[in-house]
Structure 1
Amino acid sequence: MKRSTIRKVEDILRDYPKIDKYIEEREQELRYPTIANDDNVGGGRAQYKESNQTLDTLITIDEDRRINALKRQRLIIDDCLDGVGKDTEVIINELYFKKHRQYTLDGLIANRIINVSRRNAFRLKNKFIEDCAKGFGLYEVD
């Protein structure tokens, strides 16, 4: 797998804990758009025009590409996490999900937080990243 693909997946994994916040912020942007003040005094707008802002907002939120992409990323990562063992979950949580990570992969092994060899730990991490890349559609066949 290309190094750029690995880096892209790692960036997505680091953003995983903040995905719900990103979705909420985007929904707020869509619900309460900033409307520029109209300096055009006396002209051009209908006064009694009906507004379907609520309906338009719901349609916009359901069809928003950024929200759908974030939800898809969250779903793919959740599916990948469901299919792994405890050691892989600890590795991914420590390396990517924590804001201030306490251990490196070697530190997890040395402190016996995970009970696998160094080689197997790297294999578990790389397999998880590969599965996520396939889910995201980023995986290139060499």
Structure 2
Amino acid sequence: MKRTTIRKVEDILRDYPKIDKYIEKREQELRYPTVPRDDNVGGGKAQYKYGSQTLDTLITIDEDRRINALKRQRNVIDDCLDDAGKDTGVIINELYFCKRPQYTIDGLITSHLINVSRRNAFRLKNSFIKECAKGFGLYDVD
């Protein structure tokens, strides 16, 4: 697998704890768009014209590409975590999900948080990244 693909998946994994905040922020942007200031002083407006902003907002939220991409990323990572074992979950959680990681893979092994060899720990991490890359559609068969 290419190094750039690995880095891309690692960046997505580091953003995983914040995905819900990103989705909420984008939904707020769509629900409450900034309205440009009207400089037309004295100009008329239609009195009985009702806006369809609510319906447009719902359609926009359902069809928004960024929200759908974030939800897809979250679902792929959730599925990969469900399929992964306990040791893989500990490795991924410590390396990518923690705001300030305390351990490296070697530190996890020496403190007995995972019960696998160093080589097997790296193999577990790499296989998890490959599965995520396949789910994201980034993995090229080389």
Shorter-chain TM-score above 0.5: yes
- C-alpha displacement at 1:124, in angstroms? 0.1
2:32 corresponding residue in structure 1 = 32
Equivalent AA in structure 2 for residue 113 of structure 1: L
Could you tell me how far apart the structure 2 residues matched to 1:118 and 1:11 are? 23
Q: Which residue identity lines up with residue 27 of structure 2 in the other structure?
A: E
Matched residue, 2:112: 112
Tell me by how many angstroms 1:45 deviates: 4.7
- The 2-side partners of 1:99 and 1:34 are apart by 32
Gaps of 5+ in 2: none
- The letter for the 2-side match of 1:116 is V
* 1:68 and 2:68 are equivalent in the alignment: yes
What is the total number of aligned residue pairs between the two structures? 142
Deviation of 1:2 (Å): 0.3
Aligned alpha-carbon RMSD (Å) = 1.0
SS at match of 2:29: helix
Cα distance between partner residues in 2 of 1:87 and 1:100: 19
Aligned to 1:98: 98
- Report SS of the residue matched to 2:50: coil
Give the structure-2-normalised TM-score. 0.97
Quote how far apart the aligned CAs of 1:42 are. 3.3
Regions of 4+ moved over 4 Å: none
Amino acid at match of 1:74: R
Offset, 1:110: 1.0
- How many Å separate the matches in 2 of 1:44 and 1:138? 53
| Alpha-carbon distance in 1 for matches of 2:103, 2:66 | 33
Q: Deviations over 1:1-26 (max 9, x none)?
A: 00000000000000000000000000
- CA–CA distance in structure 1, aligned partners of residues 75 and 46 of structure 2: 44
The answer for the alignment partner of 2:79 in structure 1 is 79
Q: 1:123 maps to what in 2?
A: 123
Q: Kindly provide the CA deviation profile for residues 62-92 of structure 1, in whole angstroms up to 9, marking residues without a partner as x.
A: 0000000000000000000000110000000
Find out whether 1:10 has 2:10 as its counterpart. Answer: yes
State the identity %: 82
Q: Distance in 2 between matches of 1:62 and 1:128?
A: 30
Q: Which residue identity does 1:21 align to in structure 2?
A: K
What TM-score, normalized to structure 1? 0.97
2-side partners of 1:71 and 1:45: how far apart?
40
Secondary structure of residue in 1 paired with 2:138: coil
CA distance in 1, matches of 2:11, 2:120: 23
Instruction: Return 5+ residue gaps in structure 1 as ranges.
Output: none
